[in-house]
Structure 1
Amino acid sequence: MIEFTTFAQLIVATIFLNNVLLFSFLGLESVTTIEEKPKNALKLSIALLFVLPLVSVISFWIYHNLLLTLNDTGEVVRDLTYLQTFVFVVTITVVVVIFNVLIKKVFPKLYMFIGQSTIQLVANTVVLGVLLINISSVDTLANSFYFSVFAAFGYGLVLMILTFIEKQLQQAPIPKGFKGLPIQLIILSIITLILYGLNV
């Protein structure tokens, strides 16, 4: 759960102190696919910045208006929250499909750049994970939007840093057994420790 009382705290907490990749381990599957290519990380980050806020706002509204309904006194009238995971997965799929169709027709160049990355988000744990954190951490539709934007930005920032460091280490004498995923996890661990120190 992300704790904040001001907008500035929301930004810092979401991007740095509670980064979804480093502290919730969401979207780790993407770490193995970027292959030291900053362009791949950039494509995924841009796709996430478009899709995640849309899905978050829609899911937040569905959760608080259809799955969980309260009366004027705050008593629960309808509780279908046990369906939230299924509903969110369906929402993600529908939004991604519609988004891809729209940008393919309206912005074909953008589709050529991020279209494939957008499709990959359907199976990316960062999207569903952020939605689940979202409904337990924020209380308004606006904060839901801001939280998802900063979560996507923080996720993309870590991916870009990771690919940059990996690129710098290409000529480094790294033992064969540590190349690839092992060195990626070591880099992520170091970044996490640095940010954790700021949170203490």
Structure 2
Amino acid sequence: MSRALPLLVLLTLAACSPGEPAEGAPPAAGPDSGRRETAVFAGGCFWSVESHFDRLPGVISAVSGFAGGSTASPSYDQVVRGGTGHLEAVQVTFDPARVSYRTLVDGFWRTIDPTDPAGQFCDRGPSYGAAVFATAAQRPIAEASRRAAAASLGERRFVTPVRSAVRFWPAEAYHQDFARLNPARYAGYSRGCGRQARLAAVWGSPRA
């Protein structure tokens, strides 16, 4: 995902395509309340996860970065080379008066393949694993959401975990808002990945 990658590498690396709000997600409930909470999600390429959350009513910001590893302030190159233990992740800041944490988690499952333990779509390797990083207060909500989602796929097949919240490290500036700022290059990922087809196979309906 560095800015100088050739097209062939772009197409063979994990394709990142944007997600849509979960079906049935409530619309924004009035004006900004000024309240702020954060949540962290890992779902393969952070460009895709960020793009999905950026488009949800009630989300204030989505920041691409890393979570779950042992290396402080890791660089993108360190994470993708392996050994840091980090996953590509996104920190979501939201207004809980406009969108609930449960709605965010429920929608997140539908944008990933929770049956895949080795990455997401064309993103392969440890840094592309999926997880919900939950605080102590968030964990019962995240676990309830996971149980509901797993019921439709089978608990044994549903391998994406809810993990304890850890420190989140933002990625380099050129990764932030990548889908919005680099639409042509981002589209190259989307076309080369097969993400929509896999989501349709897992969940029974196409998801972006």
When the two structures are superposed, what TM-score results if normalisation uses the length of structure 2? Answer: 0.28
Higher strand share: 2
Larger RCO (alpha carbons 8 Å, 6+ apart):
1
